[in-house]
Amino acid sequence: MRQMEPVEPTAVTLDDEFWNPRLETNREVTIEYQYDQLESSGCLENFRRAANGETGGFEGMWFADSDAYKWLEAASYVLATTDEPDPELADRVADVIDLVAAAQDEDGYLNTYFTLEEPDKRWTNLNMLHELYCAGHLIEAAVAHHRATGDESLLEVATAFADHIDDVFPDRIDGAPGHQEIELALVKLARVTGEERYVDLAAYFVEIRGHDDRLEWELANPEDIAGYDPGGDGIVEGARGVFWEDGEYDGSYAQAHAPFEDQEAVEGHAVRAMYFFAGVADVAAETGDEALLTHLERLWENMTTKRLYITGGIGSAHEGERFTEDYDLPNETAYAETCAAIGSIFWNQRMLELTGEPKYADLIERTLYNGVLAGVSLDGTEFFYDNRLASDGSHSRSGWFHCACCPPNVARLFASLGRYLYTVDGRDCYVNQYIGGTASVALEEDDLTLTQETALPWEGDVTLEVTAPEPTTATLHLRIPEWCDDASITVNGEIVSTADESYVSLERTWDDDRIAATFEHSTTVVEGHPAVAATAGRVAITRGPLVYCLEATDNDRPIHQYHIDATTEFTSTHRAGLLDGVTVLEADATVPSLEGWDRTLYRPAEASSNTITPLTAIPYYAWDNRDAGPMRVWLEAQ
Amino acid sequence: MRQMEPVEPTAVTLDDEFWNPRLETNREVTIEYQYDQLESSGCLENFRRAANGETGGFEGMWFADSDAYKWLEAASYVLATTDEPDPELADRVADVIDLVAAAQDEDGYLNTYFTLEEPDKRWTNLNMLHELYCAGHLIEAAVAHHRATGDESLLEVATAFADHIDDVFPDRIDGAPGHQEIELALVKLARVTGEERYVDLAAYFVEIRGHDDRLEWELANPEDIAGYDPGGDGIVEGARGVFWEDGEYDGSYAQAHAPFEDQEAVEGHAVRAMYFFAGVADVAAETGDEALLTHLERLWENMTTKRLYITGGIGSAHEGERFTEDYDLPNETAYAETCAAIGSIFWNQRMLELTGEPKYADLIERTLYNGVLAGVSLDGTEFFYDNRLASDGSHSRSGWFHCACCPPNVARLFASLGRYLYTVDGRDCYVNQYIGGTASVALEEDDLTLTQETALPWEGDVTLEVTAPEPTTATLHLRIPEWCDDASITVNGEIVSTADESYVSLERTWDDDRIAATFEHSTTVVEGHPAVAATAGRVAITRGPLVYCLEATDNDRPIHQYHIDATTEFTSTHRAGLLDGVTVLEADATVPSLEGWDRTLYRPAEASSNTITPLTAIPYYAWDNRDAGPMRVWLEAQ
């Protein structure tokens, strides 16, 4: 098993024409608004009241504590990565940490829903009350804050809670959580504290899932667990539906239908699945358990060959926000939750680090530019939870303030985007994503500074300036993206062979060198597997990492009338003034002739009743930023 | 304005290979079960309790009385049309009539919901409480029973109620009902009683609709009307939603958004629209108001050129069971309610009688064999409310006992099917539908007996034996169906010209003559108007009056993989043992090659990666009578 180390976002300063405006919006709009929401939703008030020993009056969803933790995590990344100090944000973070710390019980337990509402029912409802989920987000926030600032205040809170959990599980309670998150968090905590027992606890939560009948017992005995409302409308009632299938318990919603290594396919709630698999990968990394990794590879194969949208989106069903069946990938009703795409990036990054296989970096790139990026409006204030691949015009993003999970998840991903660029393994450094900026890369013995510039996702030109305090021998591996037709690479002007490699390896003594790469790419018309009903008779358009779509506002005919095929020729034009700057694709498409339809709704089909008309496609991520109207990724094939 | 007279079902004895089993099932299964339901649902008990002066305890929907009336109507048609007397059914009908009569108030009012639950709130909620709707069904039942038996008992009840309504409207209450039905019923009553004032009252209900603000007032003042529940969950609350659009009152759900002649398109709840237009046609017939007919023709044009499924189904949206927008005809979510298709037949028959234009008979035929017939399982015990044109396999008919409106509507249509065959105008007799049996046709002075035999819908052969007590001069007009490629007609073996006519007119002195017609038809591949998104890149298959579909069980490949086009050649084979006997269509279709897809979900489109495989299509009406599985009417066009 490989174990590449990521270059942490604290060591990366991004400076990228495409990403700068998005990251700035994330810092200055999204994270600000999210803080306001913590206050207005009552989330911070829950901590204050718990700290003051009050009871009752909990506000928000029962897992609202995690909103504060996700905000702390995102804000910590911002503190770590902005050029100039932000004392205002630092103070605000410190204040929230003080609040969180004050709400912690003496035994380390920390969950304001239970402290305020059901103090005697801790750990009785692992399915839905999300104590372990909230604990995981607390730990992730604490690790991020510690790495960003060196401060230990939140880490101490998280460690105390983790120790409490370690006391409880499995000796007093034996069971897995309904929503994974604690697993990957405990491994992060182990890495920052050096405490192996957190890995053991994470491994326990992975191992117990699907083995015990704890979740089933809880759902069969609602009156014995927290969240029970004798009137029948409590948390417990809402939770039961997703675990029942045809009148019987089915744990697949929470990947608890079978032990991990007996799970044949990616099943259930897509976010839970992604957090789970990320946690399993972390446990595998720490324990060296090859069997876990091998089974993760099997599940990845199932997901990517049978249950993945072309955008990288996953989980096709709105009901249960879940995976359904192989090849069931409807467009108009696609759920493809933004959080699930983010979770997929978390999992794929771990797979990349454990295997060194660039296919995982390819999927991260595809998911980032399409499945995730479509989830946020260009101005950073509106969000899609569900990312449909076709719309009749009635589907638009919602203001972030109506949402609970996706906006903060986008915020923490964007604020930590630097972590996805480079990985290191001894004297080898891997360039996984092409996003501009400067990184300080610590190799086994020496440091390199990599300064990347790129025209992606529009053009395939990338330059990397490599500098070292003194000449340093190392191998740089550049990923050749899956969408690249032809890669040409020079080092200080000298051509390097790139034949048939998915990583081009450049071994030399680096001093002050310049790598210039061009990843040629053309517009490609793509078809889906014949088993996918939703893509039957349809094709999609991609260019580089981007999936394109037709939006009504750019096209004269109703968009369902445009037919293209593999031979359609596209021209690409960058329009700086459109949608914050996008490259549009134009072609002559076939549309049905409108002749002979007067007062006719159906008629015998005619072999040739088509005409030619221009088509304009825009990147999928940019749709629904103008007037609402129909949109399609999959166009009719002619 | 024409005014053809229909030949009433009492004068027609059907005997048809295709229809006999369906009509027998209707009589022996559906109408029996429907009676059991009247008892078990509490419907008849409501009448008993109202008759006994009890209060409270009303069971079922507030318009449940109409279930009894629809059953009486269907049962009356059965009594009128079966060869042998059915004393058991006759007794049962008499018993139900006694119950209904006993529940009538002294002033003629009759509605058990109000009598039991809200006697002081009669006529306060015209929108939803359906007193006039129930009254209309009572009248229809009474007229049917009187025509079938000559008995006046139910007619007296209906007349007394109609007189009461005539007292109340418009002098004491001025307003139109939320659900039309009273209009067409009053005209039927006028025709059977000769009382012109019922026509006046029907004309009033047509005229007032969309003119007054009664419906809007009721919805804005729920506490003042019947059905109000202070807890907020009463009938009134449920009703309000369909009348509100973007926060404002919108009467279009009940065709009350504008006066009839200002209504630009067919709007709102499709069943209400059809009953309304049928009633308007009746009023036009009685009053000779050409403007009403002209506007009905405009609305028919809108419906048939922009808002009609290829099956004759109408009302595409589940929400509100209503028409939506021009060309909005989704397949997977098609509502196309069975009752709306039946209502369309009611309306079209009236348009045919008023105009003599065969296009209305064509649409009746298409609707009957597809949009209506699909609504009933072959064994007559399960029903579709919503008739989708594509299914992923999860949609199946429900037992009739779960339903309220469609099964009894099917029952009364099938039991009165004979009425759609012939119309008479002076010495002219029109043959509108080709269904076997014997009819006694009263011309201006003489009678003809027409004995029809036909192989439809499978083959286009029709024979008509025409006999008369003595030689009779008359013109018989045979409809040439819209789907007919080539018609050949002989009278006593002599060829008759059929050039370019939609009715072939045969004028002669009839004695004992034999007409033989052959309506040639081939399998036709049909396309939809380019504005219809749901048929973009798709084609459908028709043969004669039948729309065909692909069902998974007949085909090796998933049905979304089959591509056909205008050049596809079909063979037709009648299979007596399949689905009670159907003609299947077979062809070589194009399907995607399955090569090169190993471990691949998306790939660059290849210009030619297709192969040929056999396809088998069955009539749409027969789908979902075997194992549940996917179905499609609209196939991919290659």
Please give, one letter per residue, the 3-state secondary structure of B107-136. CCCCCHHHHHHCHHHCCCCCCCCCHHHHHH
A242: pLDDT strictly greater than 90: no
Q: Whole-angstrom Cα distance, residue A536 to residue A539?
A: 8
Q: How far is B539 from chain A (nearest CA, A)?
A: 7
Q: How far apart are the first and last CA of chain A?
A: 47
Q: Do B637 and A392 touch (CB under 8 A)?
A: no
Q: How far is B352 from chain A (nearest CA, A)?
A: 19
Torsion of CA B128, B132, B137, B141, to 10 degrees: 160
In the numeric block, which tokens belong to residue B393? 């396999």
Give A17-419's CATH code, choosing from 3.30.70, 1.50.10, 1.10.10, 1.20.1740: 1.50.10
Q: Best mutation site among B331, B367, B602, B636 for testing chain A: the one with the most A CBs within 10 Å? A: B602
Angle at A88 between CA A87 and CA A92, to 5 degrees: 115
In the numeric block, which tokens belong to residue A502? 């998915």
Q: Which residue has the tokens 């976002």?
A: A9
Mean pLDDT score, A443-453: 93
Band (A490; pLDDT cuts 50, 70, 90): very high
Asked if residues B51 and B68 have their Cβ atoms less than 8 Å apart, the reply is: no
Angle at B212 between CA B206 and CA B218, to 5 degrees: 110
CATH assignment, B258-395? 1.50.10.20
C-alpha distances out from residue A276 to A202, A346, B360, B583, Å: 11, 10, 62, 54
Which strand (E) or helix (H) includes residue B247? none
Q: Which residues of A are catalytic, by number?
A: 321, 405
The residues, any chain, with a CB within 8 Å of residue A340's CB and separated by 6 or more, are A270, A271, A273, A274, A313, A314, A315, A321
Q: Which residue in the set B524, B594, B601 is minimally distant from A308, CB to CB?
A: B601
Asked if residues A210 and A263 have their Cβ atoms less than 8 Å apart, the reply is: yes
Torsion-angle region of B244 (φ positive above 0: left; ψ -120 to 50: alpha; else: beta): beta
pLDDT of residue B569: 96
pLDDT of residue B419: 95
Q: Whole-angstrom Cα distance, residue B440 to residue B422?
A: 10
Q: Is the peptide bond before B619 cis (omega within 30 degrees of 0)?
A: no
Q: Which residues of B271-288 are buried (b: 16+ CB within 10 A; e: fewer)?
A: bbbbbbbbbbbbbbbbbe
Q: How far apart are the first and last CA of chain B?
A: 47
> Running DSSP on this structure, what letter comes out for residue B8?
P
Q: Do A561 and B597 touch (CB under 8 A)?
A: no
Which strand (E) or helix (H) includes residue B514? strand B503-520
- With both helix axes pointing from N to C terminus, report the angle between B131-149 and B87-102 in degrees, rounded to the nearest 10: 140
Mean pLDDT in order along chain B per 10 residues (638 residues): 89 96 93 91 96 94 94 95 87 97 98 96 92 98 95 98 97 94 98 97 96 83 84 68 76 94 97 98 97 98 98 95 96 96 98 96 98 94 94 88 76 96 96 97 92 97 96 95 94 86 91 96 96 97 98 97 96 97 98 94 87 97 96 96
Q: What is the pLDDT of residues A308-320, one digit of tens each?
A: 999 999 999 998 8
Domain residue extents for chain A: 17-419, 421-520, 523-637
Selection from A411, A431, A254, A413 nearest residue A345 by Cα: A413
The residues, any chain, with a CB within 8 Å of residue B413's CB and separated by 6 or more, are B342, B345, B372
Torsion of CA B455, B459, B464, B465, to 10 degrees: -60
Q: Which residue has the tokens 């014997």?
A: B438
Q: Provide the β-strand partners of residue A5.
A: A424
Choose between A502 and A118: higher pLDDT.
A118
Selection from B295, B339, B360 nearest residue B6 by Cα: B360
Q: Which residues of A touch B602 (CB under 8 A)?
A: 310, 526-529, 540
Q: How far is A464 from chain B (nearest CA, A)?
A: 31
In the numeric block, which tokens belong to residue B415? 């039991």
Mean pLDDT score, A197-210: 97
Asked if residues B46 and B117 have their Cβ atoms less than 8 Å apart, the reply is: no
pLDDT of residue B345: 98
Q: Which residues of B touch A533 (CB under 8 A)?
A: 392, 558, 560, 630
Q: Provide the β-strand partners of residue B564.
A: B637
Q: Which residues of A touch B526 (CB under 8 A)?
A: 602-605
Q: Do B525 and A604 touch (CB under 8 A)?
A: yes
For A302-421, list the strands marked E by DSSP: 382-383, 390-391, 398-399
Q: Do B529 and A563 touch (CB under 8 A)?
A: no
Q: Do B530 and A592 touch (CB under 8 A)?
A: yes
Angle at B634 between CA B629 and CA B637, to 5 degrees: 120
Q: What is the CA radius of gyration of chain B?
A: 25
- Burial class of residue B392, CB neighbours in 10 A (0-12, 13-18, 19+): middle
Could you write out the three-class secondary structure of A610-630?
EEEEEEEEEEHHHCCCCCCCC
Q: Do B601 and A304 touch (CB under 8 A)?
A: yes
Q: Which residues of B touch A308 (CB under 8 A)?
A: 601
- Burial class of residue A499, CB neighbours in 10 A (0-12, 13-18, 19+): exposed
Asked if residues A421 and A353 have their Cβ atoms less than 8 Å apart, the reply is: no
* Helix spans in B367-417 (H): 406-415
The residues, any chain, with a CB within 8 Å of residue A32's CB and separated by 6 or more, are none
Q: What is the pLDDT of residues A93-135, one digit of tens each?
A: 999 999 999 999 999 999 999 999 999 999 999 988 999 999 9
Coil, strand or helix at B596: coil
Q: Which residue in the set B304, B565, B599 is minimally distant from A601, CB to CB?
A: B304
Q: Whole-angstrom Cα distance, residue A141 to residue A152?
A: 12
Selection from A522, A546, A514, A349 nearest residue A430 by Cα: A349
Q: Is the peptide bond before B170 cis (omega within 30 degrees of 0)?
A: yes
Q: Do A525 and B604 touch (CB under 8 A)?
A: yes
Q: Whole-angstrom Cα distance, residue A592 to residue A605?
A: 11
Q: Which residue has the tokens 């069943």?
A: B271
Angle at B128 between CA B126 and CA B133, to 5 degrees: 70
Q: Whole-angstrom Cα distance, residue B271 to residue B264?
A: 18
Q: Whole-angstrom Cα distance, residue B572 to residue A89?
A: 76
Q: Whole-angstrom Cα distance, residue A589 to residue A593?
A: 12
C-alpha atoms less than 13 angstroms from C-alpha of A171 in its C-beta half-sphere: 6
What amino acid is encoded at A323 in this protein?
Answer: F
pLDDT of residue A403: 58
In the numeric block, which tokens belong to residue B463? 């024979």
C-alpha distances out from residue A576 to A431, B309, B318, B519, Å: 28, 45, 44, 64
Q: Which residues of B are catalytic, by number?
A: 321, 405
Q: Whole-angstrom Cα distance, residue B19 to residue B31?
A: 16
- The domain at B421-520 falls in which architecture? Sandwich (2.60)
Q: Which residues of A touch B567 (CB under 8 A)?
A: 607
Which strand (E) or helix (H) includes residue A176? none
- Burial class of residue A53, CB neighbours in 10 A (0-12, 13-18, 19+): exposed
Q: Which residues of A touch B303 (CB under 8 A)?
A: none
In the numeric block, which tokens belong to residue B633? 């009417």
- Burial class of residue A50, CB neighbours in 10 A (0-12, 13-18, 19+): buried
Selection from B132, B90, B136 nearest residue B113 by Cα: B132
Q: What percent of chain A has pLDDT over 90?
A: 84
Selection from A310, A508, A462, A278 nearest residue A390 by Cα: A310
A66: pLDDT strictly greater than 90: yes
C-alpha distances out from residue B443 to B4, B180, B193, B421, Å: 11, 33, 22, 15
Q: Which residue of B has its CA nearest to A307?
A: B601
In the numeric block, which tokens belong to residue A469? 């305090």
C-alpha atoms less than 13 angstroms from C-alpha of B541 in its C-beta half-sphere: 31
Q: Whole-angstrom Cα distance, residue B638 to residue B636?
A: 6
Q: Best mutation site among B300, B601, B632 for testing chain A: the one with the most A CBs within 10 Å? A: B601
pLDDT of residue A237: 67
